[in-house]
């Protein structure tokens, strides 16, 4: 549909995480449906963009950068921290463009990062920003002031989008609770078409490999993985992680845990090329997600695509939308429950169970995502045109 023009904002490209991958895949999906899309941001980190561009095969051009001076000042002053506040301050770029009519030639405006409803046509909310506050207890006035600033910025920026999209049924419930808005679930795409053919039951049956794929980031609780691995000595554990400027202290904690628990069967591989990661996916019998309530869990769905049994924490979208519907025995509620659950998965892996996960994961394919994005965009455009006619 070549006459449809879309402005797509993703406020910061600072890391190569799932949110960034989704934003670029959404852009790609619209372009492949012959939609004219301009991708905007306020900041691009070169190393993060290099990883993203490599993983997407260069199919997405660099976004147009609209710098926000206050956000740049905060980045320099905070040394890369205060991400939530900087993201909210950078929202000024979108609001300014809307107020000055710079987006009047676009049919739709889509925003994919702020995590609260804005005065755009579509807000894709990964998880409500109002639930992202740092625990203040015991952390002094600095944290209280920071949280107040974040709340203040959110209250100033709240709007009424025509539509809200989100990444899982789990997140959908939180969006309703936080904002009173009913969101449409559009699961992030995974490389099902590329990974599914690698499912080899004979190779899996002989494997003792347990794989984790994650951004190496403080909130992921990755330092618990060596402890789990130490209690399942018959298996080899790999953590494959993308790194950023925030990863150093996390890697140090992981290394300390390896020494503390004598986890000789645990290894960390950072910034692994996609082709090497595919080899590990193809060999892994079990995928272990850390004790963290993932909003969706792209890596969990990727593992399911290739027939690895995903062991996940019993909270978050990875549990509600991927694992629980297929095999509830693969969930764990505490770190203590994780080792026996991993052993259960190693012992009970079968062609039938792995095949069920492989089939279930097909609903998260890029092909399905692309069709959902395009059809949903047309629905919003129709809604917008009706509203304009009624005005």
pLDDT tens digit sequence for 239-248: 999 887 778 9
Structure confidence at residue 101 (pLDDT): 85
pLDDT digits (tens, 9 = 90+) for 323-338: 999 999 999 999 999 9
- Residue 167: pLDDT band by 50, 70, 90 thresholds? very high
Express each pLDDT in 171-204 by its tens digit.
999 999 999 999 999 999 999 999 999 999 998 9
For residues 167-172, give the mean pLDDT.
97
Q: What is the pTM of this model?
A: 0.89
SS (H, E, C) 38-51: EEEECEECHHHHHH
**DSSP assignment of 339-388, as one string?**
HHHHHHHHHH--HHHHHHHHHHGGGGBHHHHHHHHHHHHHHHHHHHHHHH
What local confidence, expressed as pLDDT, does residue 138 receive? Answer: 47
Give the least confident one: 154-168, 298-312, 331-345: 154-168
User: Per residue in 268-305, pLDDT tens?
Assistant: 999 898 899 999 999 999 999 999 999 999 999 999 99
Instruction: Determine the Cα–Cα distance for residues 70 and 74; give it in Å rounded to an integer.
Output: 6
Q: Determine the average pLDDT of the residues in 151-163.
A: 85
- Check pLDDT > 70 for residue 135: no
Question: Could you tell me the pLDDT band of residue 80, with boundaries at 50, 70 and 90?
Answer: low
Cα–Cα distance for residue pair 70/263, rounded to 1 Å? 45
Supply the pLDDT for residue 137. 45
> For 216-235, what is the mean pLDDT?
96
Q: Which residues contact 141 (CB under 8 A, 6 or more apart)?
A: none
């Amino acid at each position: 549909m070549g006459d449809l023009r879309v402005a797509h904002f993703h406020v910061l490209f600072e890391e190569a995480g799932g949110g960034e991958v989704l934003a670029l895949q959404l852009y790609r999906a619209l372009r492949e449906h012959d939609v004219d899309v301009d991708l905007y941001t306020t900041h691009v980190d070169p190393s993060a963009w290099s990883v993203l561009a490599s993983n997407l095969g260069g199919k997405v051009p660099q976004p147009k950068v609209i710098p926000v001076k206050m956000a740049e000042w905060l980045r320099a002053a905070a040394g890369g921290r205060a991400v939530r506040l900087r993201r909210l301050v950078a929202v000024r770029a979108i609001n300014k463009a809307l107020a000055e009519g710079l987006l009047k030639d676009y049919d739709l405006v889509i925003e994919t990062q702020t995590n609260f409803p804005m005065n755009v046509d579509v807000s894709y909310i990964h998880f409500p920003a109002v639930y992202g506050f740092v625990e203040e207890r015991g952390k002094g006035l600095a944290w209280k002031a920071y949280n107040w600033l974040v709340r203040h910025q959110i209250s100033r920026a709240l709007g009424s989008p025509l539509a809200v999209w989100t990444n899982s049924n789990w997140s959908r419930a939180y969006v309703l609770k936080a904002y009173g808005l009913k969101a449409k679930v559009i699961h992030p795409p995974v490389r099902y078409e590329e990974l599914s053919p690698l499912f080899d039951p004979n190779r899996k049956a002989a494997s003792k490999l347990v794989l984790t794929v994650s951004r190496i980031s403080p909130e992921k609780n990755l330092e618990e993985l060596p402890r789990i691995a130490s209690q399942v000595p018959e298996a080899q554990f790999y953590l494959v992680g993308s790194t950023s400027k925030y990863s150093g202290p996390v890697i140090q904690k992981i290394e300390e845990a390896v020494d503390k628990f004598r986890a000789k069967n645990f290894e960390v591989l950072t910034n692994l090329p996609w082709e090497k990661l595919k080899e590990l996916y193809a060999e892994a019998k079990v995928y272990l997600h850390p004790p963290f309530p993932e909003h969706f869990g792209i890596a969990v769905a990727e593992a399911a695509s290739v027939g690895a049994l995903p062991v996940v924490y019993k909270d978050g979208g990875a549990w509600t939308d991927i694992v629980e519907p297929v095999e509830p025995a693969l969930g764990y509620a505490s770190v203590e429950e994780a080792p026996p659950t991993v052993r259960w998965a190693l012992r009970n892996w079968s062609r039938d169970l792995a095949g069920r996960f492989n089939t279930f994961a097909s609903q998260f394919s890029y092909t399905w995502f692309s069709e959902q994005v395009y059809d949903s965009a047309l629905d919003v455009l129709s809604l917008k045109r009706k509203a304009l006619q009624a005005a």
